[in-house]
Each structure stands twice: as C-alpha cells, then as structure tokens.
Amino acid sequence: MLSDKVRTLTYQLALTRARRRLEGGVLLDVGCGTGILSMFGAKAGAAHVYALDGVAKLCHLARQIIAENNFSSRITVINSKVEDAQLGVDRVDAIVSEWMGHALLYENMLPSVLSARDRYLLPPHTSTVDLASWRRERLFPCRASIFIAAFSAAAVNGDTGGYDKEEQEEEEDPVENVKQWEELSELYGVNLTGAFASAVQQDLEKRVHVDMIDARCVATTTSEVATLDLATLSLEELSTHGVKGTFEVKSMGMVSVRGFVIWFSVQFPHGDVLSTSPYKASTHWQQSLLYLSGPLPLEQDEVLSGEVHFTHPQDAPRDLSISIDFSVNNSHKTRVEANYLLSS
C-alpha cells in the first residue's frame, strides 16, 4: 500500500490542507496499519492521534515506525477493534481512515468508520452546530462514489501510475483462459473442453475479477451508481441493505460488450479527490470487472440501464456480493440478471 503513491500522497495533501482544523485537536486513525496516516495527521498539527488497528503485528510495527520518526509522545497505537476500543477520551476532532477496498466496499471496513463517527466524532459540548456539516469537514475522506461502465475487452494497463506493479497479484485475462483449452486439448491429446472448460466459464461468470483495464476498452459512457455521504450515512441502513443504485450508459460506437467495469472515488473536506478510474493514474485498487456469459453486441448510442446492488454475505462479511440487473434500450426481452462474488 505504501508504494501506491497516488493513494498515499492524496491523503497527505488532504490532511495538510486541513491544518487549521487539525491544529491542537485529537485525531482518530481507524485501521492505522503502518501508522503513515497517523504521522501525516501529527505533522498537520494534531495534538494527539489515536491509531487503532485490530491486527497485533501491525500495531507492533506501527509503534516501531512511529518511534523511529519521533512521534511516540503524540501518537498512541491501540490494538483493538473500534467497537471495543477504549481511547481514554470522550470525543475526537477528526477521523482519518483508508477503509476502501476493491469496488469500494470489499473487506467491509466502512461500518467500523461509521461506528467510530457515531461514538467519537462529536462537537464540543458548548457548540451548537449542524452536526452533518461539522462532521463533513472532519472526515478523511468525507464522501465516496461508485461508477460503472461497460467494456469491450480486458487488457492490463502497462502504466503502473503511482505504485509498484510487482506488488500486485498478476491475473491473466479470463477470456484467454477459456479459449486456451481447445488448444491444450489438441496439444495434450486429452479433452479439456467439457467439464473443465465449463468450470472455468462458471468461474468467469460468477467471480469479480480485479484488474487494471485499459481505458481504450471502455465501450460506453460512465454512470455514477451511488454516492455515500459519510457524515450522514446510517450504519444500520448500510449493514441491513448494503448499497444499491441505478445506472444508464450509452454505447460509444459499434462494440461487442464483454462485461461491466466498476471503480470508485473518494473526496476529502477541501475537495481533494482520490480516483481509481481507468482514465486516471492507476492505484493498487485497480478496477473490478464483471464478465457477462457471452459477448453483447451494441450499435452506436444504444443504452444499457439497470440496477447494481452491493451486499456482504452473512457467513463471510468481508467478502462482497455484487448483483446486476440490466436491459438494452429498456427492452424486457433483453433483460439480464447476474450475481458475482469477490472473496479472499
């Protein structure tokens, strides 16, 4: 994650710009990891930072890094879940967290941030303010948006943008994986085009594939599926119903659509934006690809519209289920429903 310069420098800039709000205050870092964001907060003027993480080894490492940078007196690392944490203070002045996963919601860390917000991000008792507006200026990030488009083919983008490509998990193009079984059957003299190829195809159609897609493969306009205001988003609503939104995208030519690509962006209080769009510098989040069961031919300006629903399986709450229901030109005859899973 530290080698993702786009991610890390955007957080650094956002916290630095907020110096007037952080100066002399208390900052809470939810899921602190190595402690890099905590140190950015301390450098931006926070009098004290509470750095929470549920992984003991990470907390031990964070303490070492913080000590090496002479911040031990101003940053307290606590090995605890947010829900069980005892900070020793009743309130904080700001919250920072790098909670986003693939397709924004994978790993399901957002509820912990909202729990911390409800419990600790409170104005001074003497203040009479609009709570939502007050919180929106003190959440890093304060908003998140999910976007969708259709793509005609998957291609790994050679531009690594701001991070070390060697650290990502390389994933072959699943379309090519499916095609190769005929060639291998002929080469090995055994049939791999039946049950084995079927299993590969099922995996292709049911799994969320994380990869960097070449922007030239995006075949439609882009639609914003959902925007989350972290100052007002209900923890109960999120946990019960997940995130749901509608979309409408238009073909940018005569294309053969292979699936949908999902990405996200987050916004910080002073307007800084961290985007995982295929049109921007690449990040370790890459994009999330949903393959259709087969190619879908479209003419110029034909419209794909429908609904996307993001939920977390009860038996594996860190995983992410994505269901999509769409049609071409609002024709019921072309309606497609599909479900995908992103799991560790």
Dump pLDDT digits (tens) for 200-245. 767 777 899 999 999 999 999 999 999 999 999 999 999 999 999 9
Three-class HEC string of 276-338 = CCCCCCCCCCCEEEEEEEEEEEECCCCEEEEEEEEECCCCCCCCEEEEEEEEECCCHHHCEEE
Active-site residue (options: 83, 98, 183, 299) = 98
Tell whether the model's pLDDT for residue 116 goes beyond 90: yes
Percentage above 70 pLDDT, the chain: 91
Mean pLDDT of all residues belonging to the chain: 91
Q: How many CB atoms lie within 10 A of CB 335?
A: 12
DSSP string for residues in 99-112: --BTTBTTT--HHH
Which CATH number is 146-342 given? 2.70.160.11
pTM: 0.89
Contact of 287 with 261, CB cutoff 8 Å: yes
Q: What residue segments make up the domains of the chain, in order of their start?
A: 5-141, 146-342
Q: Which of 23, 107, 166, 205 is catalytic?
A: 107
* pLDDT given for residue 164 in this prediction: 52
CATH architecture type of domain 5-141: 3-Layer(aba) Sandwich (3.40)
Tens digits of residue pLDDT in 143-193 = 999 999 999 974 444 444 455 544 444 445 555 565 677 888 888 888 877
Q: Answer yes or no: 107 catalytic.
A: yes
Catalytic-residue membership of 98? yes
At 248 the three-state DSSP class reads strand
pLDDT in tens, 62-104: 999 999 999 999 999 999 999 999 998 999 999 999 999 999 9
Rounded Cα distance between 73 and 63, Å, is 11
Confidence of residue 308 (pLDDT cuts 50, 70, 90): very high
